[in-house]
Amino acid sequence: MKKINLGVLVSGGGSNLQSIIDSIERGRLDAVIRVVISNVPGVRALERSKTHNIPAVLIDPENFSTREEFDREVVAVLKIHCVDLVIMAGFMRILTPVLLKAFPMKIMNIHPALLPSFQGLHVQQKAFDYGVKFSGCTVHFADEGVDTGPIIIQAVVPVYDDDTADALQQRILKEEHRIYPQAIQFYADGRLEIDGRKVHIKDPGTMETPGMHNPPLEKF
């Protein structure tokens, strides 16, 4: 089977990058990471790339006067490495049309909330402070909005009475590491059909838990 070529964009720790690397190394994901691009110097994600012999490139925004120029450089690096699918893995920048048009519906993002709730930054804390009973994470195609593109897959986690925002963040991150490789494999298998805002998965498995309640229902 032909493997898809990934370009992964990062800005930080790179635990999602690591989950993709691990899935590939375990033979569960038919993909090759051709290049990792960071917009932040010295981040752990760059070290992780080097450990796994993946080409890693720093593109420092300070060297570019506009966001479009920065994105043009990102596109150039992705094209040199023959990337098919772009993976934003904790990449903390808003994309310009330069990047979006170069990879139409070929850019995925992961967000640590159940979109469309809690778009933007620090959303685990915001969901916790709001008092939601469930939160989670979302993989979606990127578009010109912030966290607004068509949703591919979501995972739900409970928020407990005695929770902390930090514990919630870790619970969400654990699910991120499961759904991102799955979304990429759906793509690699050609099982994603985009229909306006909706992304249909060909031949989805059966859901074990079609309804969830938190706190659990008692007599109902």
Residue ranges that bind ligand GAR, judged by CB under 6 A? 12-16, 45, 89-90, 110-112, 173, 176
Q: Which of 81, 111, 140, 177 is catalytic?
A: 111
111 is catalytic: yes
* Smallest distance from ligand GAR to CB 203, Å: 27
With beta carbons less than 8 A apart as the criterion, state whether 165 and 154 touch: no
With beta carbons less than 8 A apart as the criterion, state whether 135 and 168 touch: yes
Residue closer to ligand GAR by CB (options 46, 78) is: 46
Residue 139's closest CA among 92, 199, 209?
199
* Smallest distance from ligand GAR to CB 77, Å: 19
Residue closer to ligand GAR by CB (options 106, 126) is: 126
- Residue number with the smallest Cβ distance to ligand GAR: 90
Residue closer to ligand GAR by CB (options 86, 89) is: 89
Alpha helices in 36-155 (DSSP H): 44-51, 67-80, 97-102, 123-130
- Please state, in angstroms and rounded to a whole number, the distance separating the CA atoms of residues 38 and 10: 5
Report strand pairing: 198-201 vs 192-195.
antiparallel
* Smallest distance from ligand GAR to CB 121, Å: 6
- DSSP per residue, 55-75: -EEE--GGG-SSHHHHHHHHH
* Smallest distance from ligand GAR to CB 166, Å: 12
In terms of phi and psi (left: phi > 0; alpha: psi -120 to 50; beta: otherwise), the region of 42 is: left
Residue closer to ligand GAR by CB (options 71, 176) is: 176
Q: Among all residues, which ones are annotated catalytic?
A: 111
